Amino acid sequence: MSIYLTTFLVSLGISTALGVIIVIADKLLSNYGECTITINDDKQVVVEGGNSLMSSLFEKKYFIPSACGGKGTCGYCMVKLPDEDIPLLPTEEIVMAEKDVNAGWRLACQIKVKKNMSVWMPEEYFMIKEFHCRVAKTETIAADIKEIELEMIEPDSIEFKAGQYIQVMVPSVGETVYRSYSISSHPGNCKSLFLNIKLEDKGIGSTYLHKLKVGDTVNISGPYGDFLLTGSNRQAVFVAGGVGLAPINSILHQIFQDNIDRKCLVYFKVKLEEEFYYLEQLSQWKEKYANFSYKLVVSDIPETESFDSGERARITKVLEDDFQKISESEFYLCGAPKMINGIMEYFDKKGIPSDRVFYDKFE
Question: Contact residues for ligand FES (CB under 6 A)?
Answer: 66-68, 70, 72-77, 95, 107, 109
Stretch that binds ligand FAD, among 203-211, 253-261, 319-327, 349-357 (CB under 6 A): 203-211
> Is the Cβ of residue 67 or residue 352 nearer to ligand FES in the bound state?
67
> Is the Cβ of residue 73 or residue 235 nearer to ligand FES in the bound state?
73
Interaction residues for ligand FAD, span 229-268 (CB under 6 A) = 243, 246
> Is the Cβ of residue 45 or residue 143 nearer to ligand FAD in the bound state?
143
CA distances from 349 to 28, 235, 343, 344, 355 (A): 55, 21, 10, 9, 15
Interaction residues for ligand FAD, span 162-201 (CB under 6 A) = 165, 179-182, 195-198, 200-201
How far apart are CB 225 and ligand FES at their closest, in Å? 13
CA distances from 326 to 203, 241, 262, 333 (A): 36, 18, 14, 14
> Is the Cβ of residue 21 or residue 101 nearer to ligand FES in the bound state?
101
Three-class SS of residue 324?
A: helix
> Is the Cβ of residue 277 or residue 294 nearer to ligand FAD in the bound state?
277
Query: In degrees, to the nearest 5, what angle opens at C-alpha 265 toward C-alphas 260 and 271?
Result: 135
Q: Are strands 34-39 and 117-119 parallel, antiparallel or unpaired?
A: parallel
Q: What share of the chain is helix, strand, coil (3-state, %, to 5)?
A: 30, 30, 35
Q: Are strands 192-198 and 292-298 parallel, antiparallel or unpaired?
A: unpaired
Verify binding: residue 151, ligand FAD, rule CB under 6 A: no
Interaction residues for ligand FAD, span 56-75 (CB under 6 A) = 67
Distance CA 94, CA 204 (A): 26
Verify binding: residue 123, ligand FAD, rule CB under 6 A: no
Verify binding: residue 278, ligand FAD, rule CB under 6 A: no
Name the residue type at position 69: G
Residue ranges in contact with ligand FAD by CB under 6 A: 67, 165, 179-182, 195-198, 200-206, 225, 243, 246, 360, 362-363
